[in-house]
Amino acid sequence: MKKGLPLLIAVGVLLAALVATRLVGNRYLYFAGYVIFQYVVLATAWNILGGYTGYVNFGTAGFFALGAYTATVLILAFKAPLPVQIVAGGLVSAVLGLGIGYLTLRLRGVFFSIATLALALVLQTFVMNWEYVGGAKGVSIIRPAAFPPFASYVEFLFFVMAALAVVSAMAAWWIENSWVGRGLAAIRDNEEAAECMGVPTLRLKLLATVVSGCFMGVAGAPFPYYVTLVEPVSAFSLDYAVNSLAMPMIGGTTTWIGPIVGAILLSTAQQVATVTISSELNLLIVGIVLVAFVLLAPQGIVGLVQRLAGRRRA
């Protein structure tokens, strides 16, 4: 029964998203919903490495934009269909994760964090100098025509992102409940002890980095069709790095549900705040909430809820 439940929830979410495209008329809601699901994927991906293993990735924007630009190149060169773009975006970002991880994870974890901090800026420099994808001024992409049962292509993208969110959450759930997750948790608690007990720490860390980077690239791949103007500043925006890290920290890092709770809360709040107050102020609020949670509620919302529930039971 416990095994069937996540699958049931997954199918439920997808059906709800599909039904929503038939019922909801307001087009803004699809754009907003797309962003929320995109952040569910990014936060879940970040948490697979950051939450389970304790290695902080500051370069989400780099992995995300690499997925987006892989898709852009595929559109420009071959007019490749969306599924191909998503798979390719995920693969390229996974390879990046493997490379960075291999060079830095053998040493102390903090070098990985530092390398990822510089990574986004360096990738952005490459893209800015690459004329094929429009350099600094970007390139416009034409969305394909809509096809049934979707009334518009944005509705289709909304549904695709919902599906990707479900897939990433299921991947996180599987990792958490398998030997991989136990190995990662052992690394988080005490890496030396884990190594001594025969846990293949380097291989597990690399695996987590690859899976995490892959999902970040996957989240970025539908980006060109979503924005229709791909340019470096928005693709490499620091918002991705901050949000993908703040969402799990606020929701709770030790379970798969934490990043989802954080992503839905924080990105919904941001969607409302960007419309009602300025977007800079909105980022300042994210920063302050992040620091407040790290200082005062290190277990996140899920941890707080669990503690409250435990107290009631006791």
Partner 1 sequence: MLSLDLLLNAIVAGILLGGFYAAVSLGISVAFGLLDIVNIAHPVFVVLGSYIAYALNSALGLDPLLTGLLGVPVFFALGVVVYRLYYASFEKTGEESLRGLVFFFGLLFIIEVALLLVYGVDYRMVEAAYIGDSLHIGSVGIALRLLVPCLVGIGMTVALYLVLSRTFWGRAIMAVSQDSQALRLMGANPVRIKTIAFGLSIATASLAGALLIVIGPVEPSIGREYIGRVFAIAVLGGMGSIGGTLAAGLILGVVETFTATYYGPSWALAVSFGILLVVLAVRPAGLFGR
Give the residue, chosen from 125, 140, 178, 228, that forms a contact with partner 1 under the rule CB under 8 A. Answer: 125
Min dist CB 284 to partner 1, Å, is 4
Minimum Å gap between C-beta 63 and partner 1 is 15
Whichever of 21 and 57 has its CB closer to partner 1, that residue is: 57
Query: How far is Cα 50 from Cα 132, in angstroms, rounded to an integer?
Result: 34
Residue 304 is a binding residue for partner 1 (CB under 8 A) = no
The residue range among 33-41, 65-73, 194-202, 284-292 that interacts with partner 1, by the rule CB under 8 A, is 284-292
> Considering the rule CB under 8 A, would residue 111 count as an interface residue with partner 1?
yes
Cβ partners under 8 Å of residue 237, min gap 6: 61
**Contact between 288 and partner 1 (CB under 8 A)?**
yes
**Contacting range for partner 1; rule: CB under 8 A; set: 70-78, 104-112, 142-150, 227-235:** 104-112
Phi/psi region, residue 231 (left: phi>0; alpha: psi -120 to 50; beta: rest), is beta
Query: Measured between alpha carbons, how far is 308 from 62 in angstroms, rounded to an integer?
Result: 38
* Sole window of 72-80, 121-129, 152-160, 220-228 interacting with partner 1 (rule: CB under 8 A): 121-129
Q: Which of residues 202-241 bind partner 1 (CB under 8 A)?
A: 238
Number of other residues whose CB lies within 10 A of the CB of residue 43: 34
Which residues, numbered 41-70, are part of the site for partner 1 (CB under 8 A)?
50, 54, 56, 58
Give least dist CB 82 to partner 1, A.
Answer: 31
Q: How many residues bind partner 1 (CB under 8 A)?
A: 40
Where along the sequence are the contacts to partner 1 (CB under 8 A)? 50, 54, 56, 58, 103-104, 107, 109-111, 113-115, 117-119, 121-122, 125-126, 128-129, 238, 242, 245-246, 249, 253, 280-281, 283-284, 286-288, 290-291, 294-295, 298
